[in-house]
Amino acid sequence: MTIADSARLKREILLRSMFPSMPIAAHVRFTEVLEDVDAAPGELLFDVGDAPDRLYFLIEGRVAMEREGQAPWVFAPLAVVGVIDAVLERQRTRNCRALEPSRFLAVRIGEWFDMMEDNGQVARGAIRNFAAQLHRRWQKVAPRLERHSDPPPPAGPGPLETYDKILALRGAASLRSAGMQAIASLATVAVPVALKQGEVLFERGADDENLHFIARGSIELTGDAAHHPGQMAHFDWSSTADSDPERAAASRRELFSRFADTPTLVIGGHFGAGHIRREGDAFRFEAMA
């Protein structure tokens, strides 16, 4: 099957908006198996009792999934329609009716599950989309339900699994040319290190032979950009390391502005770790206790 360049471009834009981390090879395969489906106002895309043979990505228009005696579910563009019955491997429990002229990209269930089995990022994207739709439904229903207990506290980040390590290592600039086998081998020996907000990974001058890759969160190494917290209020204070004082002052201002009033932990090579706070046109350093 061949696809016109304009149609292929539209499909790739849709896929990248829904699955931004999907590899290029998976995008190519996904683009080839999608089918164009149009529905006129009032037309049924599928009915109650039908087999869930396709998933539908809504790209234009609006549709409603209806069931007698229950409120309809209305979907807008970029929604995935018909996924629940497919995942639960059951016949359609609601019909799907176009409320206005609507266009879809459809994929057969067998092709979809094959792609999820072959590519973990596709599977994660599908789970994220599915969970987001369920969450939106819950937000609408929850206020009408009686609460029998307090909600549980939010869960903290879980431990890094081997797959998480592989994703982190693949994203590292220094490993872009490494093969998948090498990255997988490296992931098996990589030791997770967890830092709470404010904790220091290493100090200036430390004898540390480890190579660190950030899998979650963020840290900042200031290096020689700033030698003293006072430079956050006085950008023009220069040290002997500033070969171009005017450019150095501009760099400090840009650096401090980027991380001011954010959760990013800034590690000053000369004055420890903390956070940057904005004070008028200048900044101040709030050291971690």
The pLDDT tens digits of the residues spanning 50-61 come to: 999 998 989 899
Looking at residue 276, its pLDDT comes to 83
Do residues 159 and 192 lie in contact, with contact meaning Cβ atoms separated by under 8 Å?
A: yes
Q: At what angle do helices 5-18 and 24-33 cross, to 10 degrees?
A: 120
Dump the DSSP string for 71-82: EEEEE-TT-EES
Do residues 157 and 197 lie in contact, with contact meaning Cβ atoms separated by under 8 Å?
A: no
Percent of the chain residues past pLDDT 70, beyond the cut: 76
pLDDT over 50 at 1, yes or no: no
Arithmetic mean of pLDDT, 114-138: 72
Looking at residue 37, its pLDDT comes to 94
152-174 per-position pLDDT tens digit:
665 556 677 777 788 888 877 77
172-192 per-position pLDDT tens digit:
777 878 887 888 888 888 888
pLDDT over 90 at 45, yes or no: yes
Vertex 182 angle, CA 28 and 206, to 5°: 120
Arithmetic mean of pLDDT, 42-54: 94
Do residues 76 and 83 lie in contact, with contact meaning Cβ atoms separated by under 8 Å?
A: no
- pLDDT averaged over the chain? 78
Domains by residue range for the chain, with CATH: 5-144 (2.60.120.10), 158-192 (no CATH), 219-287 (no CATH)
Tell which residue, 289, 160, 263, 265, has the closest CA to residue 202.
265
Looking at residue 268, its pLDDT comes to 64
How far is Cα 127 from Cα 59, in angstroms, rounded to an integer? 19
Does this model's pTM top 0.85?
no
Of the pLDDT bands very low, low, confident and very high (cuts 50, 70, 90), residue 48 is very high
pLDDT over 80 at 200, yes or no: no
Arithmetic mean of pLDDT, 96-125: 83
Looking at residue 241, its pLDDT comes to 66
The gap from C-alpha 248 to its chain's centroid, in whole angstroms, comes to 34
Beta-sheet pairing, 219-221 with 265-268? parallel
